[in-house]
Amino acid sequence: MRIARSLPALIAALSFAAVPLPSPAQFTVGVGFTVGSPPPPIPYYSVPPAPYPNYQWTPGYWGYGSAGYYWTPGVWVAPAAVGLYWTPGYWGASGGGYGWNAGYWGPSVGFYGGINYGGGYGGVGFVGGTWAGGAFRYNTAVVNVNRTYVHNTYVNKTVINNNHYNNSHVSYNGGHGGISAKPTSAQMEARRNGRAPTTAQRDQARFAGNDRNQLASVNKGKPTLTASNKPFSDTNKPPNNAPVTSADRANAQKTMKTSNNGAMNKAPTTANKAPTSNNKAPTTNNNKAPTSSNTMQSAHKTPTTTNKAPATHKQPPSSMQTHRQPQSHPQSAPKPQGGQRPPSGSMQGKPPSGGGGGGKPPSGGNANGKPPRG
């Protein structure tokens, strides 16, 4: 896995998220950056009532910006299109770093790392409601609704009791202390064919990331603003918001360098061992076998001598591999990588364009050389 060496490089890697999707039906999956330290736990909070018919709950999550981790409050938004469900994004650990797998819209709720986001997203699938005849029916055993505008409801506690849920507040998948859930191949395929987050979702993340009160470094992982009734916008900014300072960014830069150095020191070493044959390296100091980051093949032996071949340099982890995913019920399958790329047009923290609208309900269809001889 390649660890981002500087905060500016990380932010540059994120900037592609604002580019509109060439096709709303598909997007590519993968991220080109990782963070060396894990995100804080998911805070506990209550989900506000659904404001309008068909609006979908999008859980809060830890995004990452110029000043480090920040909490993006959960919010109700219009879906990208009638009949689509939201699959939350999640952080995945791999090789000592943590990469973001962006959320997406699709005909079913896919894999979201086994993370317990609440609001019907307990780690597996979604039980907050279902589409029926072009209208969304809310399961009020799980979510609340504004009874003035929303009347299409039902109560089903059985589906909650019969499903397995993750009761922890761990916010990442894999690695030390992470959730061990794995996606199926079908879920990864579903992710590849998902639709990017909407403009309202992207704005929610943008405004949250610019409010220093939402920074984990400021709130110590316990934000006071955990959810909002409507998506943030120029006319609906976070209450009591304060701009992120240069000191906040400098602190994040310092923290990133420290955590990334630690991640690099954890690079795997098994692939870089020196040959174990009985042949020895040359005896003269000027003719020692040079070190290399490539493993020497066993077919090529070093000349005999009384001195052992010097150990080779350790390699940093290779670039993060991308996996694709989504689902309804995760099953044992390929291990998710720490950095599945988000939808082009979406972002870790910055959802993409689509339909959304803060206030009015959606109208309908709104990601080997031989060693030298002595």
Q: What is the pLDDT of residues 257-312, one digit of tens each?
A: 766 555 555 544 333 343 344 444 444 444 444 443 333 333 334 444 444 444 44
Higher pLDDT, 156 or 163: 156
Can you spell out the DSSP letters for 312-323?
PPPPPPPPPPP-
**Lookup result for tokens 């006071």:** 224
Strand order in the sheet with 135-139: 129-132, 135-139, 153-154
pLDDT tens-digit readout, 167-191: 789 999 999 999 999 999 888 888 8
Question: For residues 344 and 346, what is the distance between their CA atoms, to the nearest angstrom?
Answer: 5
Q: Which residues contact 286 (CB under 8 A, 6 or more apart)?
A: none
pLDDT at 158 over 70: yes
Most confident of 15-19, 21-25, 73-77, 119-123: 73-77
Top-confidence residue, 107 or 344: 107
Element of type H or E holding 219? helix 216-219
Angle between the N-to-C axes of helices 246-264 and 7-14, in degrees from 0 to 180, rounded to the nearest 10: 100
Q: What gap in Å lies between CA 87 and CA 69, rounded to an integer?
A: 21
CB-based contact 163:125 (threshold 8 Å) = yes
> Alpha-carbon distance 354 to 45, whole Å?
27
Question: Which letter does DSSP use for residue 170 in this model?
Answer: -
What pLDDT sits at residue 327? Answer: 41
In three-state secondary structure terms, 87 is strand
Confidence band (pLDDT; 50, 70, 90) for 78? very high
Q: How far is CA 355 from CA 26, 57, 360, in A?
A: 15, 14, 11
As a whole number of angstroms, the distance between CA 202 and CA 353 comes to 7
Of residues 201 and 26, more confidence is placed in: 201
pLDDT of residue 260: 58
Question: Which stretches does DSSP call E strand in 220-287?
Answer: 227-228
Longest CA–CA separation in the chain, Å: 88
Q: Are 325 and 183 in contact (CB under 8 A)?
A: yes
Q: Are strands 227-228 and 74-77 parallel, antiparallel or unpaired?
A: parallel
Chain-wide mean pLDDT for the chain? 72
pLDDT of residue 276: 42
Give the per-residue pLDDT at 223: 97
Query: Strands 135-139, 153-154: parallel, antiparallel or unpaired by DSSP?
Result: parallel
What's the pLDDT score for residue 258? 65
Residue 305: partners with Cβ closer than 8 Å, 6 or more residues away = 280, 281, 282, 283, 374
- State what percent of residues in the chain have pLDDT above 90: 49
Lowest mean per-residue pLDDT among 107-121, 191-205, 247-261, 280-294: 280-294
pLDDT of 324 strictly over 80: no
Task: Give pLDDT, residue 255.
Answer: 76
CA-CA distance, 72 to 76, in Å (whole number)? 13
Round to whole Å and give the CA distance between 6 and 24: 32
> How many C-beta neighbours within 10 Å does residue 177 have?
10
Whether the predicted pLDDT of 19 surpasses 90: no
Q: Which of 48-52, 130-134, 254-258 has the lowest mean pLDDT?
A: 254-258
Look at residue 139 in the predicted model and tell me its pLDDT: 97
Q: How would residue 160 be classed by pLDDT, with cut points 50, 70 and 90?
A: confident
Comparing CA positions, the residue from 147, 129, 146 lying closest to residue 138 is 129
Q: How are beta strands 68-72 and 61-65 bridged, if at all? A: antiparallel
pLDDT greater than 80 at residue 120? yes
**pLDDT given for residue 150 in this prediction:** 97
Mean pLDDT of 125-153: 96
